[in-house]
Amino acid sequence: MIPALTNMTIAMPLLADAHKSFWFPEQASSFAIGVDWVYDLILYISLAFFIPMMAFTAYSMFKYTKKKGEKAESQVTHNTPLELAWSIGPSFVLVWMFIQGSISYLDMRTPPEGSYDIGVQAQKWNFTMDYGGGTFHNELHVVKDEPTKLSMRSTDVIHALFIPAFRVKKDIVPGRYNYLWFKPIVASEKVSDEELAKAKKQSEGGGVWDYDKYQFTPEGYRFYDLYCAEYCGKDHSEMQTAVVVHETQEELDAWIKANSSRGDISMVEWGQTLFNRRGCVGCHSLDGTKDGYTGPSFKDVYGFSHAMASGEELMADDNYIRESILDPKAQVVAGYSPVMPTFKGQLSDDDIASIIEFLKTLSANGESAKSPADGDTENADTEVETTPAS
């Protein structure tokens, strides 16, 4: 933001601390100071008018009250100088507010050349960040002091990406790219190893990491909230995730590398990670619960035959699950709407095989059923068992 605004902000009595705001979340991006300044400007001007007006109204009510039956005195209906004054005076104030707002707004509209670019895909009901080279993650990871541009698209309806601590929000309209940029100015802290280990232990077997409860990510980073602000549909309010600001580009690169593929964890573990990270968790339960979920539970899917909307009975083997993920509309489970988005091009073969291994651990038939057409996942490390959520 413009330096003059910065100085004035610090001079404002309510905003003495550089990155704290009286009304709002922490000022964690370069926009925050300017946005809050304009907000405060408008707020204080409004109060400067509102309070004297209300006080004078109240005073007049008592001063000029007449007893019942008394006659009203003269009514002043017109005063040209006064009316000109209260029309022209405030219009200057309004123009000033508009100019101040436009300065911040134009700055926010124009991503600087060479900004760090991260893809964002919004879909019912999650965000997926695309870090390039096939690395996708539900969390947004960025670098401190680095102008960052989000190239956002939606696969279904209008969503709106909102990061309150950065003071940025933008609609994501299907059928086109929408851009948003910011420069983070406060890096995320990491919690102590003991605290992280404690939380990991608590959430073991639960399947889903509770960001709200712990207030840090599964990797121990404190985070800023990111959520969907388009409240004209069923579950936009559930589209919440975390923004982590790394101190250096090297740190972010290392994080991306560590999250790019399975590495040396087991397929079952990776399958569960993808389930949480890629939005399946929003629509599928693991324990048989159907209420409140858009899709069928993953419990006892693998290796069981079940009815499709087409009337066919299909066995959920490797090929069926693969097709369900890549082309969800090809076979729709009876009793459900065809609303699952496709994950074509977003999950590697190893990712899909890992999800299949994970589904096997949730099914009583997980071990016995074998796909006749696909023998090569048989020798995968199925002996690694995790306790599914109960």
Please answer whether residues 2 and 34 qualify as being in contact, where contact means their C-beta atoms are separated by less than 8 angstroms: yes
Angle at 259 between CA 353 and CA 282, to 5 degrees: 65
Stretch that binds ligand HEC, among 57-65, 139-147, 238-246, 289-297 (CB under 6 A): 289-297
Angle at 316 between CA 294 and CA 340, to 5 degrees: 25
- Closest by CA to 181, choosing from 151, 211, 222, is 151
Residues found in the chain: 390
Among 295, 303, 366, 388, binds ligand HEC (CB under 6 A): 295
Under rule CB under 6 A, residue 333 binds ligand HEC: yes
SS (H, E, C) 241-294: EEEEEECCHHHHHHHHHHCCCCCCCCHHHHHHHHHHHCCHHHCCCCCCCCCCCC
Question: Minimum Å distance from CB 40 to ligand HEC?
Answer: 40
Stretch that binds Cu ion, among 53-61, 128-136, 154-162, 365-373 (CB under 5 A): 154-162
Residue 185 or 352 with smaller CB distance to ligand HEC: 352
Under rule CB under 6 A, residue 134 binds ligand HEC: no
Question: Minimum Å distance from CB 374 to ligand HEC?
Answer: 15
User: What is the secondary structure of 64-83 as a DSSP string?
Assistant: T---TTPPP-------HHHH
Please answer whether residues 30 and 183 qualify as being in contact, where contact means their C-beta atoms are separated by less than 8 angstroms: yes
Question: Minimum Å distance from CB 264 to ligand HEC?
Answer: 22
Say whether 89 sits in a helix, a strand or coil: helix
Among 36, 40, 139, 230, binds Cu ion (CB under 5 A): 230
Stretch that binds ligand HEC, among 73-81, 239-247, 288-296, 370-378 (CB under 6 A): 288-296
Under rule CB under 5 A, residue 236 binds Cu ion: yes
Among 1, 226, 239, 283, binds ligand HEC (CB under 6 A): 283
Residues that bind Cu ion (CB under 5 A): 159, 228, 230, 236, 239
